[in-house]
Chains A and B, each alone.
Chain A
Amino acid sequence: MLKATNLHAGYGGSDVLKGISLEVPEGSCVALVGANGAGKTTLARTLSGLLVPRKGQILFKGKEISGLPASRIARKGLCLCPEGRHVFAPLSVEENLLLGAFPRLPSIGPFRRKASADLEKIYDMFPILQQRRSQQAGSLSGGEQQMLAIGRVLMARPGLVILDEPSMGLAPLVLKEVFEAIVTLRKSGMTILLSEQFARNALSVTDSAYIMEQGTVVLEGPSADLAKNPAVAEAYLG
């Protein structure tokens, strides 16, 4: 479904990604694992169009998408849930969710009614969001914001979701809840690219994985195999 070949991208003068190739087949759940600074977030930003690659090709559903603005790519169904959550802090929880569905809602008129079925689904998945639906998103705790960010991206009915570091800055208990949500998603057949620094967690919920280091892919294969590979733990604990 998503295929990237030989991607080079970066900020200013230097390349952060140095020739990355990866593939996410339809219906699969792929992990992108690596220590901080390995280039996971840069890769996620490049795939979603926030950063224009200097070299390389990105195919989504067989069509070239590199160079398109992020909003166009999102409308095609490739949606990123960004690192650091990036919820719209001054807006309410429900407005945040509605914005996720922006491209298919009427600009003026009964947009709430049109989105109500999707909203129900999200609220079923994260009941805490329903409790806080009219609260400002900025006043939520870190875990709740993460759930909101995931909920927002699901509102778009995406073909493929990139989850960039959903665990960032979360307490272990909350983390568990987030990962359970990812498992639920996976079961529903959603295609997911999960970028994670917590290797063990990421490998346990995905089919296959890419291990990144210094802007390149150093290892790839089925997650279960990689989880047993001592080289992976080594990369983390030195």
Chain B
Amino acid sequence: MNPEILAYTQMAVSGALMGLAYALVAYGFQLTFAAGKAVNFGQGELVMLGAFVGLTLTGIGIPYWLSIAGAMAVGTGLGWFVERSAVRLALKQHNEGWILLTIIIGLFAVSAAENIWGREDKPYPVPWQDGSIDFYGISVTWPEITIAAGALGAMILIEIAKRCTMFGIAVQAVSADPDAAELCGIRSTSATSLSWAVSGAAAAFAGTIIGPVTTVGPTMAAALTLKAFSVAVVAGLDSAIGLVFTGIFLGTVENLSGFLLGSGWRETPGLILLILALALRPQGIFGKKIIRKV
């Protein structure tokens, strides 16, 4: 193959694989949005904390797989905490205070991380051998494969749980009509908490699979939040398949523009896409329109 095209394809493929990680973080937004029309503006911070916790656990000699479980446990707790402390009250009062509160909790998380783990980016060791697999000259590293498999696997697993367990159906019912769900004996507050906890676990898991590819540091949070938002908003907040496509697309475009325009510009396509999507189709490409009531 033409070496130039090969280089582009290589960039596109790694971008697409990374895009799946964005889709997973964005999926966390979908979960909480469905449960109570709120999202965590500190989701990126949860990813970062998940990565740091996993890193610390591997540092004290715990195997990689167990460290993922540990990080997810912490993520579950944090997701629950954010809902309980910031979102529940403000949503009851019908004001935008919850946006501020999730931003604030995220800010505290960054500050804490800076002081506990330091400001520098750290590598995340993985148990796999170095090297990569070649497909027709395009090489894919093992951590990249973990991202793709992990992100897709986690999303499929949660989707199955949503559709095929009574728990999942109940959570969907709460998102469709909380009062009617209460009348069926479902505690809507618990269902909302559960969604936030799962969303937190997904974010922490994302941290442990992104970490080996990027490195881990407090600055990863803000950038990830924005990218995941771009994916979630462009795709719409109610379609999981949409997230996967948008994530892959965004990851690819981002890598290619970084390659073509210089690394400083790699964020821009996502941001422009986000503003355009919000302006032209606020419900997202794959989303449904909302009806106002009086």
Contacts and interface: CB of A to CB of B under 8 A. Distances in A.
Asked if A and B touch directly (CB within 8 angstroms), the answer is yes
Nearest to B164: A108
A89 interface: yes
A156 to B, nearest CB: 7
B248 interface: no
Interface residues of A, number: 32
Nearest to A106: B166
Contacts of A106: 166
For the complex of A and B, 5 pairs with smallest distance between CB atoms: A70-B182, A86-B180, A103-B185, A74-B185, A88-B176
B165 interface: yes
Given A107-B166, A108-B165, A108-B167, A102 B184 contact: yes
**Which residue, of A50, A88, A105, A152, has the highest number of chain B Cβ atoms within 10 A?**
A88
B165 A107 contact: yes
Contacts of A50: 179, 182-183
Nearest to B165: A108
Contacts of A71: 182-188
Given A88-B176, A107-B165, A108-B166, A69 B184 contact: no
For chain B, the bracket of interface size reads: 10 to 19
B180 A87 contact: yes
A38 interface: no
18 contacts: A50-B179, A50-B183, A70-B182, A70-B183, A71-B182, A71-B183, A71-B185, A82-B179, A88-B177, A99-B173, A99-B186, A102-B186, A107-B167, A107-B170, A108-B165, A109-B165, A153-B183, A156-B184
Interface string A46-90: 001110000000000000000001110011000110100011111
A79 B183 contact: yes
Contacts of A49: 182
B177 A86 contact: yes
Interface of B: 165-167, 169-170, 172-173, 176-177, 179-188
A106 B188 CA distance: 18
A70 B181 CA distance: 9
A2 interface: no
Nearest to B186: A102
A156 B176 contact: no
A102 B179 contact: no
Interface string A102-146: 110111110100000000000000000000000000000000000
Contact of B185 (A90, A102, A108): A102
A98 B167 CA distance: 11
A156 B184 CA distance: 8
